[in-house]
Structure 1
Amino acid sequence: MGDLTRLPDGIAPVGLAAALPLDRIQEGLIDAFLASRKPNTVAAYRRDLEDFRAFVASRPEAAAYADSVDRVARELLALAPGQANALALGYRASLDARGLAPATINRRLAALRSLVQLGKTLGLVSWELEVENVDGVAYRDTRGPGRDGVKAMIAQVQERSDAKGVRDTAIVRLLHDTALRRGEVVSLDLEHYDPAAATLAILGKGRSQREPVTLPDATRAALDEWIEVRGRHPGPLFFRLDNAGAGGGRLTGAAVYQLVQALGADLGIRTRPHGLRHAAITSALDATNGNLRAAQSFARHRDPKVTMRYDDNRADLAGQTAKLVAED
C-alpha cells in the first residue's frame, strides 16, 4: 500500500476519514489508492483497474455504471461481501479464459484486493476480497541464457572499444554478476556508487529505501572503467550516447532491454535483461550446492518459494522424480 497519510486534496488522513462525508471519500478513492506510488506502479495499477472496468462493462446488468474506473470502484465497494467476491471470482475466471499468464492474473487480483483494503481502512466497507490467486504453474523458464551464454555476451560487447562498448559491458555485468533488475540499473545515479566500499545503493523491487549491494572485482572494474569514460559529474550513472559520445539523458529500461536482446541475437541467443538475472541466480545455486538461503539473499527475493522455483528448474526435480517412478 502507498503512504495513506499523504492523501490527495479532499481526503483526510486515515484517522480522520470518518469525519468526512461519504461521497467525498468515495470521489477521491482512486487518487488515494494511487497516491505516493512509483510512476511505473501507478501505470500498472491503472491498466489493471481499467481491465476490470472493461470486464464489468461487458456484463449487461452493470454496463450502466462502468463508464469510468472511479465509478466501478465505488460500485464494487457498495456491493455486499458475497456479491463482491462473486464478481471477483467471475473476473478471475475471465482472465484465465483469456489465457493470461498466472503472474498477470494474480497482479490484477492483487490490485482489486488492495483497493478494497483501502476502502476498509477508510471505513467504507467492513469486509475484504477473499478470492485467491491462481496457481503459478506456468512460471516462466528461470534458467536464462546460461553461464556460457553470458560469458559470450560479455566477450562480444568487450570487443567494442568505444564509449558504448564500455558502458554496455558495465550494464551487462551488473545485470548478471549482481542479479540486478533493469529498473534497478537505470535508476542509479553516480552518487549511489561508493568506490571505496565497492558498493551500489540500489532501490530494489517493492522497496522504499535503497540498500547496498557489494560488487565483485570484475564488476567493479567494469563500472570504474565506464565512470572514467562517463566523467564524475552528478546525474544518471548510465545515459544515452549520441554519435559524439556525449550524454543524452538517462538510459531507459526499454533501451537496456533492446541492447541485451541485440547482444543475444548476434550470438544466436534469445534473451532479455531478466534472463541474465535468471542465469545469475541459477549459477548461485550451482556454486553453493543448492544453498537456498544464500541464493535468496543474493537474488533479494522476499519469498523463499520464488528461489525454490529456480532450484527446482535448475535440478529438474520433477523430471528426476518422474524417472524414478517410471523405473520403479
Structure 2
Amino acid sequence: MEGLINHFIHYLAVEKGLAENTLASYQGDLNQFRAFCREKELDPMGAGGRGVVMAYLLQLKKSGRSPATISRHLAALKSFYRFLLAEGLVHMDATANLESPRPPQRLPRVLSTREVESLLSQPRISTAAGLRDKAMLELLYATGIRVSELVSLDLAHVNLEHGFVRCFGKGARERIIPLGSVACHYVSEYLLRSRGTLVKGKNTAALFVNQQGQRLTRQGFWKIIKKYARQGRINKVITPHTLRHSFATHLLENGADLRSVQELLGHADIATTQIYTHLTRARLREIYDHTHPRAADIKKSN
C-alpha cells in the first residue's frame, strides 16, 4: 500500500499541480490509514474495503478527532480510491456514498479596524527586522493572501510601480491582487533600507528573509505576529489567518461584493467566501437604511 500511496501523491503533484503543503497533508492522512490497516491486519483493497474505511473513520471519532479532521481524512481517502479505481487497481470505490460529518460552522476570528491599526503599529521600523515585519503585516492586511503565499513571494512577484502582487495559491492557481499605497510604501522602504542588511550578501529570490538571510518560514511569521499581538495588548486568539479573515470581513462591511472578495481570496467556491458575511443585524439594518430607496421613515417622506 505504501507504493500505491506514493504513486497517488506523485499523480497529485504532476497531474493536478497541488501545492507541497497539500501533498504533505494527503500523504500524512493516508499513511495514518495504512498504519491502521497494518495494525488491525485489514485489507483495504479487497471486497471488504468499505468496512475497513468505516472502521477507520469510527476509530478517528472514538479517539476524539474533530468532525473537520475526520472530513479531511475521508476526503483524502475518497480521492485515493477514485484514483485506484481509475487506474484499475481496485474493482470498487470503498468510499462511494460515504458522507462526511458536518462540522459546526465556526465564524472566523477577526480583528476590529482599531485592533488592526494597533497590531500594524507595533514593529519598530528603525530596525531592519522591524521594517521587514511592518512591510509583511501591511502587505498581508492589504491583500488578504495566505501566510504560505506571503512567505512564498519572490522579488519578481511584487510590482510596486503599478501596485499589485502576483501570488500562487492552492492548486498553483495564479491571481493578481491590488496593493494599496501604504503597503507599497513600506515594502519599498523594506527593499531600500532593510532587505540588504538581512540578506547579508546571499543570493536569494525570496522577498522576505529571516535574520540568516534565508526565506522566512510560516513558523517564523507565526512567532512574529504573536509577539506584536502581545505588544499591542490584543486580547483575542491570533492565528496566521487572522489578518486574512479581517481583510475579507472589513471589505464586506464597507460594501465590497462577495464575488470580488472571492476573487481576491482565491476561493474556488463562493460558498467558502460566504462565511465572511457574518455582519451584525445592526450593521445590516444600517446598510439597508442607507441604501434602499423605500427604507426611509414614512414621516420623513411626507
TM range (shorter): 0.7 to 0.9
Partner residue, 2:63: 98
Evaluate the alpha carbon distance shift between residue 42 and residue 302 of structure 1 in structure 2; reply closer, same or farther with a 3 A threshold. closer
Indicate which of 23, 26, 44 corresponds to 1:76.
44
Q: Contact 1:179/1:298 (CA < 8 Å) preserved in 2? A: yes
Q: Contact 1:176/1:276 (CA < 8 Å) preserved in 2? A: yes
Indicate which of 274, 277, 282 corresponds to 2:249.
282
Give the TM-score, by structure 2 length.
0.80
1:174 and 1:134 mapped to 2: Cα distance? 36
Indicate which of 227, 243, 247 corresponds to 2:191.
227
The Cα shift of 1:121 comes to 1.8
Evaluate the alpha carbon distance shift between residue 101 and residue 227 of structure 1 in structure 2; reply closer, same or farther with a 3 A threshold. farther
2:89 and 2:173 mapped to 1: Cα distance? 31
Indicate which of 6, 10, 23 corresponds to 1:42.
23
Q: Contact 1:191/1:234 (CA < 8 Å) preserved in 2? A: no
Question: Aligned AA for 2:213?
Answer: G
Q: Contact 2:209/2:215 (CA < 8 Å) preserved in 1? A: yes
Question: Aligned AA for 1:76?
Answer: P
Partner residue, 1:147: 113
Question: Aligned AA for 1:176?
Answer: Y
1:38 and 1:292 mapped to 2: Cα distance? 26
The Cα shift of 1:30 comes to 1.7
1:316 and 1:95 mapped to 2: Cα distance? 38
Evaluate the alpha carbon distance shift between residue 303 and residue 210 of structure 1 in structure 2; reply closer, same or farther with a 3 A threshold. closer
Does 2:69 match 1:88? no
Summarize deviations over 1:130-172 as a string: whole Å, max 9, x none.
Answer: 22221121x4431322222111011112x44111111101111
1:33 and 1:226 mapped to 2: Cα distance? 42
The Cα shift of 1:197 comes to 2.4
> Structure 1, unaligned stretches of length 5 or more?
1-25, 66-74, 242-246, 321-328
SS in 1 for 2:241: helix
Partner residue, 1:68: none
Q: Which 4+ runs in 1 deviate beyond 6 A? A: none
Give the TM-score, by structure 1 length.
0.74
Q: Contact 2:248/2:276 (CA < 8 Å) preserved in 1? A: yes
> Structure 2, unaligned stretches of length 5 or more?
286-302
Evaluate the alpha carbon distance shift between residue 168 and residue 136 of structure 1 in structure 2; reply closer, same or farther with a 3 A threshold. same
Q: Contact 2:147/2:241 (CA < 8 Å) preserved in 1? A: yes
Indicate which of 148, 152, 156 corresponds to 2:122.
156
Indicate which of 81, 92, 98 corresponds to 1:116.
81
Q: In terms of mean alpha carbon deviation, does 280-289 or 254-263 score higher?
A: 280-289
The Cα shift of 1:178 comes to 0.7
Evaluate the alpha carbon distance shift between residue 188 and residue 149 of structure 1 in structure 2; reply closer, same or farther with a 3 A threshold. same
Question: Aligned AA for 1:51?
Answer: Q
Partner residue, 1:214: 178
Partner residue, 2:267: 301
Question: Aligned AA for 1:286?
Answer: E
Partner residue, 1:192: 157
Indicate which of 37, 46, 61 corresponds to 1:56.
37
The percentage of aligned residue pairs carrying the same residue is 30
Q: Contact 1:190/1:234 (CA < 8 Å) preserved in 2? A: no
Partner residue, 1:271: 238
Does 2:184 match 1:258? no
Indicate which of 28, 43, 52 corresponds to 2:3.
28
